[in-house]
Amino acid sequence: MRILHTMLRVTDLDKSLNFYTHVLGMKLLRKEDYPEGKFTLAFVGYADESKQAALELTHNWGEHQYDHGTGFGHVAIEVDDVYAVCDDIHKRGGKIKRPAGPMKGGTTVIAFVEDPDGYLIELLAKK
């Protein structure tokens, strides 16, 4: 068994695809419209889905707002240098929610960035 993907509902698919591909450097792995259901699914990730889990961006056609609730926390991404990645994300127009630095009560370097729908992405230093 393995985790295949995590689904996030997005309000503007183009903005979200730009964030995940241009700002975070993921690849668009596949995208398909479902006209009868009035939605589009786009899968993004750093490697083929046969090798790594992906994010499924679900865009329900029309104007929608979503409540993230209190149960969802964040999606975590391991990076070589959190400080450098934050600099790159900032230069590409990404929103840094918590700057790079040691986590509270620990030494692991982390940061948080926010996607266009307000989902948090945690950047963790590679161990």
Six token digits for residue 56: 């499924």
Residues 6+ apart with CB under 8 A from 50: none
Do 15 and 95 touch, CB atoms closer than 8 A?
no
Q: Bridge-partner residues for 79, per DSSP? A: 125
The answer to whether residue 122 is catalytic is yes
By annotation, the residues acting in catalysis are: 122
